[in-house]
Structure 1
Amino acid sequence: MKHILGGLLALACVATPWSAAGVREAPGDLQSCVVTATGPGDRRTLVQWMFSAIALHPDLEDLARVSDARREQANRAMGELMVRLLTVDCADQARQAFRDGSADAAIGEAFGRIGQMAGEGLFAEPRVAAEAQGLIRHVDMNRLVELFLP
């Protein structure tokens, strides 16, 4: 389970689905179930958990401060979400993945996908999207155009 949690953070942070070549997919499609069972509030929980963990990275420490109490709250909420998704909402699919020996891959893919969805939601927020476009002010377009000239 520790391996799954570590993988979950890594998968969520890169916000791309994980593919395990050669690993059998769990019948019942755990990923599909987790995606369907995850609502906007759940994605908010996931994003807050991701941010609280990422804020500890040395390259980001001066950009964001998350109190230990708030980080613990995010950890607790994410733990509860993970347990609910795997033991209530998608229990049959999770059980099947464990039986098939594909639990690591199936859980990684499922939580990687909702991590991707959460990341997409972050950048869809108008203020975040507008600020992300702010980098254009600092791009030397003439230098980029030179790439396409003969």
Structure 2
Amino acid sequence: MRILATLLLSLAILSPHAAMASPASDALGNCLKDNTSGKDRKDLARWIFVSMSTHPEIRTMANISESVRTDTDKQMADLFTRLLTVNCAAQTRAAAQQDGPNGMMSSFKSLGEVAMMELTSNPAVAQSITAYVQFVDKKKVEEVLGK
């Protein structure tokens, strides 16, 4: 079960493809979102950031110590365990029985999206995300759009 849980969470958060969701998986996704605080969602986003920082092409941009990685993993494990076994136990059981891993992936993907929205709602982050626009060749884009 531990390996399955790790895979589900990791794949759901980082997978570029959405899994098909049933009513049971939708209910689990809603329960996950309803039972996370802003702090929980920031912790989840932090875990995603720390995990992605291990990519060879990104590693040089983030100097994250092993102790920070371990602490982040422990926070994520606590959140994952609480959500699946306390806050959303019935929904977890139903989604696992009805949809198996794919449905659970869909549920966690929606939680990951909410976590990213939590971060991007910060004015500094929003400004940084749109900063590239100043360098876009607007004329070329307008030509493609037929304007």
- The TM-score range, normalised by the shorter chain, is 0.7 to 0.9
Are residues 89 and 15 of structure 1, via their aligned partners in 2, closer, same or farther at CA, if it must alter by over 3 Å?
farther
The partner residue of 1:36 within 34, 37, 60 is: 34
Given residue 42 of structure 2, which amino acid in structure 1 is its aligned partner?
R
Q: Does 1:118 align with 2:119?
A: no
Structure 2 match to 1:135: 132
Cα–Cα, structure 1 residues 15 and 81, in superposed 2: closer, same or farther, change >3 Å? Answer: farther
Structure 2 residue 36 is the aligned partner of structure 1 residue 11: no
Q: Which consecutive residues of structure 2, in runs of 5 or more, have no partner in the other structure?
A: none
* Aligned positions of 1:96-115 closer than 5 A: 96-98=94-96, 100-115=97-112
Code of the aligned partner of 2:12 = L
Q: Please list the CA deviations of residues 22-79 of structure 1 after superposition, one character each: whole Å capped at 9, or x if unmatched.
A: xx65389212211111111110110111111000011111211211100110100001
Deviation at 1:6, TM superposition (A): 2.6
User: CA shift at 1:20, angstroms?
Assistant: 2.7
Check 1:86–1:41 CA distance in 2 against 1; reply closer, same or farther (3 A cut).
Answer: same
**TM-score between both structures, scaled by the size of structure 1:** 0.84
Number of matched pairs: 146
Q: Displacement, 1:8? A: 2.2
* Distance apart, 1:4 and its partner CA: 4.1
**Distance across 1 between alignment mates of 2:53 and 2:26:** 36
Q: CA RMSD in A?
A: 2.4
1:31 and 1:110 in contact (8 A); partners too: yes
Superposition deviation, residue 138 in structure 1 = 1.3
Contact 2:13 2:112 in 1 (8 A): yes
In the alignment, is the contact (CA less than 8 A) between 1:122 and 1:128 conserved in 2?
Answer: yes
**Unpaired runs of 5+ in structure 1?**
none
Shift of 1:140: 1.2
Listed one character per residue, the Cα deviations across residues 86-112 of structure 1 (whole Å, up to 9, x for unaligned) are: 1100111222334x2524133212211
Residue from 77, 80, 85 that aligns with 1:79: 77
Using the aligned pairs only, state the percent identity. Answer: 27
2: distance between equivalents of 1:27 and 1:144? 39
